[in-house]
Amino acid sequence: MKNLIYILLLAVLTITSCKNEPSKEEIALQKQIEAYDLLMTEAMEVHDQIMPKMGELMELKGELVASKEEAELSDDQLMKLDATAANLKVSHDGMMDWMVDYSEKFPYGEPSPETKADLDKKMPVLEQEVVEIKELRDHTMTAIANAKEILAN
């Protein structure tokens, strides 16, 4: 009976002492995967800020075109209307292009990279996509504000 207790005690100690602690490399990889996932989330959050504005962009563009045809405007005013309408179109087209490009590089449902090599390959691409969508957001918000200002005058 004593031997059985010693054997069980030894087995329990052996099992508990063999826990596999993650290595420094595994911990670093997990942190990189988490950073990648956060960046993916950020890209989609910025996208979700801009996407609802696409309808407003096109409405404002239509209003600019209509106001151009309805009023007697100076050449300077016509140029401002045309430039503002062009900026709205650039924002709209930019969003459509970004979505196509992004979905080709990061297909929906694709899991996060699980190796350092895959992360090293995908992370710079994702970082660039986030920069692009943020620039597009800023351009879009400015184009909308400018169009509203012109239409208010």
Q: Name the H helices within the chain.
A: 2-17, 24-50, 53-70, 75-105, 116-152
Q: What is the pLDDT of residue 128?
A: 97
C-alpha to C-alpha distances, 10 to 3, 17, 42, 69, 130, nearest whole angstrom: 10, 10, 50, 91, 54
Instruction: Encode pLDDT of 47-77 as tens digits.
Output: 999 999 999 999 999 999 888 777 787 888 8
Question: pTM score, two decimals?
Answer: 0.81
